[in-house]
Amino acid sequence: MQPKLGIIAGGGSLPQRIIDICRASGREFYVIAIEGHALPQQLVDTPHSWIRIGAAGSGLNILKQQNVKELVMIGDVKMPSLKDLRPDLRTAKFFAKLGVQALGDNSLLSAAAAELEAEGFRVVGVDEILSDLLAPEGMLGSVSAAEFAEDIILGINAARDLGRRDVGQAVIANSGQVIVEEDSAGTADMINRSRECSPNGEGGILVKIKKPGQDRRMDLPTIGADTVEQARQAGLKGIVIQADESIVVDLEEVVKAANSAGIFIEAVRLADDKATNVPEIYLIAGEPSGDHLGARLMAALKSQTGDEVRFSGIGGPEMTKQGLSSLFPMSELTVMGLAEVLPRLPKLLRRIREAARHILNIKPDVVVTIDAPDFSLRVAKKIQGKSIPLVHYVAPSVWAWKPGRAKKIAPILDHLMTLLPFEPPYFEREGLASTFVGHSILESDAAMGDGAAFRSRHNIDPVAKVLTVLPGSRHSEVKFLLPAIFDAIKHLDHSNLRVILPTVETLETEIKQAITIWPEEISKLVTIVTGEEAKIDAFAASDAAIAASGTVALELAMARVPYVTIYKFNALTAVIARRLVKTPFVNIINVLLDREVVPELIQEDCRGDVIAPHITKFLSGDDSAKLQVANFEEAIARLQDDDQKPSERAAKVVLEVIVQHAKLSK
């Protein structure tokens, strides 16, 4: 004879299913109905008691009085705020022991199950009672999912990452991006919010899967005909669930509704995170150049592991394309300079703490921080000594300023991957293992642009002179450099000139607004473009360039475009920088060659009357342009010393660090 079953009932139809099967089998049962959630009509002629969520003590007493031996928790329940919870003494002790940070997440449910079992009850999963409701593997209807494969993979990765954060089980992916994530409001609310987030006016793909490591006795992902109807109203194209780990309420009705709505439903089988040797790699990038480095590294890691790798962390659009669901927008980290950072410091510090907590919760096999040392190394310091290997990609420029940083960061990191061949010794002498992997910009398409097609698309005469201007990828850079660029253009001959301004989408509106105040005779010369392909094509169409100091220096060199480097700080930042900088050059081409090949017009020299003479020479085809381009070849050759791609070498280092750490941990 089966032991008496206690049913802790929330909302929805599943509690009724449990009640019906108990009655049909003659099994004794008793219902604890959660106030505000359980449906009264399900409890007619049913043995039950109503309790509020915060009255755990009363519920336990009732269950013991009813001689209940097994418990199942079933149905929708939204956790109230602490203010509305009004916990009794038993509940208050539970939360004091657990910590209120677990409210509403998987940690809370697992802890609740442990407490119930400590009281002598056996907690069972709904699948032990209603096994026929588990989703079978495969397509559950007649609508094909073939054309949505990329969004399905993206959604699965994002949902897993969301689950690892213990936030929710579901996301909606559309056209290569995750447009909305589930939160405490639930799946229905998320679906409704997706209507306002679609990038193309069309619905995306709902992916709802079990949280990695989730106790399957609690809150298995559930869909029903109502989910399909919500998806239809939101214009979604499909629903992806996890085979044998998701509940489908009334499969026949769900399939019928989905076929009628033209929505596919696919149940996919996923390896359990705890049961595989698939490495979990946490990456942090803080600006567009790091986003590109991270994306190439991710692609190389997928190649070297046969796609058997998981990613989580913080990144931008390029890393998102490779399958990363960013913890928060990378754009929040893209600031530079003391005076620029200070106003945003409180938020940056919160993000540092948030990233560290995320890492400690996930416990990845390795953390790879990419450049952005002011943020990423602070995160690394917070997780130092937690048995998670730390690799930093892109060495801090200790050869240029603050050489003492090498000694400070060496104890924090397990390995450093450098872009420049002369950098490893600075860190190795401090005991930090370092590897020169080369600069992955060499893998870019910077030299492969189609200049003729670009000119044709933008109605630029084949004989017109094209000047590309790049004011940087940070708000602070644009603020200081765009006025200098405007001043330089004023000093140029406009008779046969076109100006191209490639930028990132996050800065496009800001730059357009800034240019609206320029005189028409100058603003009409300017064409703003976004996207990597447009930028590379613009380089191929260019006769000269004005560029902020940074990674773009190498891209222009690869594209063989003569240019000048400009930079300007806030006055306070400039004073501090002058005292700290130890190198005569800031442009990477000049650093590599140890001579000024590219003019560096910094701070007081970052003026139109100083910039314009150099550009005038370049546009005229002066010998100085030819000499600069000839020197580019020598500099680029120094960035790689074998035939292996830099990202492949970097991926190899990361995987070797994981293996070495695993050996030391045994």
Q: State residue 316 phi and psi, 5-degree precision.
A: -110, -160
Strand partners, 417: 393, 435
User: What tokens were used for 12?
Assistant: 């929805």
CATH number of 134-274: 3.40.140.80
Query: 398 near 408, Cβ under 8 Å?
Result: no
Give the count of beta carbons closer than 10 Å to the beta carbon of residue 200. Answer: 8
Strand partners, 547: 470, 565
Rg (CA), the chain: 30
List C-alpha distances in Å: 118 to 60, 67, 87, 494: 12, 16, 20, 81
In this predicted structure, what is the pLDDT of residue 114?
A: 75
pTM for the complete prediction? 0.61
List C-alpha distances in Å: 554 to 286, 588, 636: 19, 7, 8
* HEC assignment per residue over 575-632: HHHHHHECCCCCCHHHHHHCCCCCCEEEHHHCCHHHHHHHHHHHHCCCHHHHHHHHHH
Strand partners, 68: none
Q: How far is CA 324 from the centre of its chain?
A: 5
List C-alpha distances in Å: 341 to 250, 338, 369, 603: 55, 5, 19, 19
Strand partners, 436: 418
Which of these, 90, 40, 37, lies nearest to 62 by C-alpha position? 90
Torsion of CA 126, 36, 22, 169, to 10 degrees: -10
User: What tokens were used for 453?
Assistant: 């097609």
For residue 604, give every residue at least 6 positions away whose Cβ sits within 8 Å of its Cβ, in sequence order, or none: none
- CA gap 254, 257 in Å, rounded: 5
Residue type, 497: L
- CA gap 499, 640 in Å, rounded: 33
Sheet holding 563-567, edge to edge: 526-530, 497-503, 465-470, 544-548, 563-567, 600-602
Q: How far is CA 568 from the centre of its chain?
A: 30
Strand partners, 174: 177
- DSSP secondary structure, 28-89, as one string: -EEEEEETTTS-GGGGTT--EEEE-TT-HHHHHHHHHHTT--EEEEESB-PPPPHHHH---H
Query: 367 near 359, Cβ under 8 Å?
Result: yes
Domain ranges across the chain: 5-129, 134-274, 277-439, 451-637
CATH class of 5-129: alpha beta
To 5 degrees, how large is the angle CA 285–CA 385–CA 304? 50
- CA gap 229, 273 in Å, rounded: 32
Give the count of beta carbons closer than 10 Å to the beta carbon of residue 490. Answer: 15
In this predicted structure, what is the pLDDT of residue 133?
A: 87
In this predicted structure, what is the pLDDT of residue 139?
A: 94
Helices (H), 174-305: 187-194, 225-233, 251-261, 288-304
Query: 259 near 141, Cβ under 8 Å?
Result: yes
Residue type, 71: L
In this predicted structure, what is the pLDDT of residue 262?
A: 95
The DSSP 8-state label assigned to residue 410 in this structure reads: T
For residue 405, give every residue at least 6 positions away whose Cβ sits within 8 Å of its Cβ, in sequence order, or none: 373, 396, 398
In this predicted structure, what is the pLDDT of residue 275?
A: 44
Across the chain, which has 666 residues, the per-10-residue mean pLDDT values are: 89 89 92 91 93 85 93 80 65 56 54 79 85 88 90 90 82 90 87 82 89 77 93 94 90 94 93 66 91 94 91 89 84 59 72 88 91 89 93 87 85 95 93 92 88 95 96 86 94 95 91 93 94 94 92 91 88 58 79 92 90 95 91 88 86 95 76
The DSSP 8-state label assigned to residue 512 in this structure reads: H
Torsion of CA 100, 103, 108, 111, to 10 degrees: 20
Q: How far is CA 449 from the centre of its chain?
A: 28
Report the half-sphere exposure of 212 (CA within 13 A, side-chain side). 25
Helix 505-515 with 475-490: angle, nearest 10 deg? 40
User: What tokens were used for 418?
Assistant: 């450098």
The DSSP 8-state label assigned to residue 440 in this structure reads: G
* HEC assignment per residue over 652-664: HHHHHHHHHHHHH
CATH class of 277-439: alpha beta
Query: 585 near 600, Cβ under 8 Å?
Result: yes
- Indicate if 277-439 has the same CATH topology as 134-274: no
Question: Would you call 19 helix, strand, or coil by DSSP?
Answer: helix
Q: State residue 173 phi and psi, 5-degree precision.
A: -110, 145
In this predicted structure, what is the pLDDT of residue 522?
A: 94
User: What tokens were used for 341?
Assistant: 């950072």
Q: State residue 12 phi and psi, 5-degree precision.
A: 90, -175
Report the half-sphere exposure of 61 (CA within 13 A, side-chain side). 10
Topology (CATH level 3) of domain 451-637: Rossmann fold (3.40.50)
